Amino acid sequence: MSAAALQEVQSIQVNPLSAHIGAEIHGVDLTQKLDARQIADIRAALLKWRVVFFREQFLSHEQHVAFSAQFGELTVGHPVFGHVDGHPQIYSISKFRKATRFEGQPLLRPWTGWHTDVTAAVNPPFASILRGVTIPPYGGDTQWTNLVIAYEKLSEPLRRFVDGLRGVHRFAPPQGAKGTEAFASAVEQHTLVSEHPLVRVHPETGERALYVSPGFLKQIAGVTPRESQVLLELLWEHVTRPEFTVRFKWEAGSVAFWDNRTTAHLAPTDIFDLDFDRQLYRTTLVGDVPVGPDGRASVALQGSPVGAAAAIALN
């Protein structure tokens, strides 16, 4: 079947945004219950393009939760930093949400701020769904990178090398900054530390992704500190190469839905040089435990798996 014919039989319209990652989806109303075909087509687009975007979807908190639940079980808004009052599945992405977490000037490097959501957990979320509510007229773009193409673009000897490595992920202040008492208290009460493979095998597609979240991965297990530092900086620089990325300009009613198993993303910092407010809301879906090419699963060094918000509410 030709690409044109395939497009005709899809229940949605998928418009790619870059060579390796990102597509806009049109022809669907996220405020309504989706049919099985729409769900399957959106999921297929997500697996292919890693992050998909929707425009003019003005969802309430309840509709945001209902849309998300069609693709998996929802986690609590954030396992460490809480949730929106009255909506345990929703996390507020406000402009100044980190203002009380850190003190001091962090060391800024090309990969600073890039991260995959909650990889300190032994089962990081499978996906994140973020909706824009209050959006500045300019500035505030978010970027995503494709960790599968990043792995594939490594040299073959380096792929073989990193296939067998594992790393420790935790919540910690950015290098150069200091955590506030509030940050330290939240992390202590909900401690999450996990060892993940540096290369993760996707449970649905079998693809290998370079699973090296700069914001959470603190050291490579079993090597010296200097070896760890040099190798991680090489990999972090590599995964944030511009040709692996897509940049999304938000509008009110925009929704971004990304596969957390194959992407890292970068929240904007230019908004702090602007007087405009910015408010988004996020849900996350319960994930599986990563597995490396050698078949070894991730292990929790501290903390428990992140469960469904509904199950937590019953306890």
For residue 285, the number of C-alpha atoms closer than 13 Å in the C-beta half-sphere is 21
Residue 115 catalytic? yes
Cα diameter, the chain? 59
CA distances from 210 to 41, 121, 149, 298 (A): 26, 17, 9, 14
Among the listed residues 64, 117, 196, 259, the single catalytic one is 117
Report the alpha-carbon distance of residue 60 to residue 56 in Å, rounded: 13
Q: Do 236 and 214 form a contact (C-beta atoms < 8 A)? A: yes
CA-CA distance, 75 to 310, in Å (whole number)? 8
Distance CA 166, CA 145 (A): 21
Separation between Cα atoms, residue 249 and residue 142, nearest integer Å: 7
Cα radius of gyration (the chain): 19
List the catalytic residue out of 78, 166, 265, 278: 265
Helix or strand or coil: residue 137? coil
Identify the active-site residue in 64, 78, 83, 115. 115
Question: Is 282 tagged catalytic?
Answer: yes
- What's the chain's length in residues? 315
To the query of whether residue 117 is one of the catalytic residues in this protein, the response is yes
For the chain, helix, strand, coil in percent to 5 are 25, 30, 45
Distance, CA of 289 to chain centre: 15
Contact predicate 287/195, CB 8 Å: no
Provide the annotated active-site residues: 115, 117, 265, 282
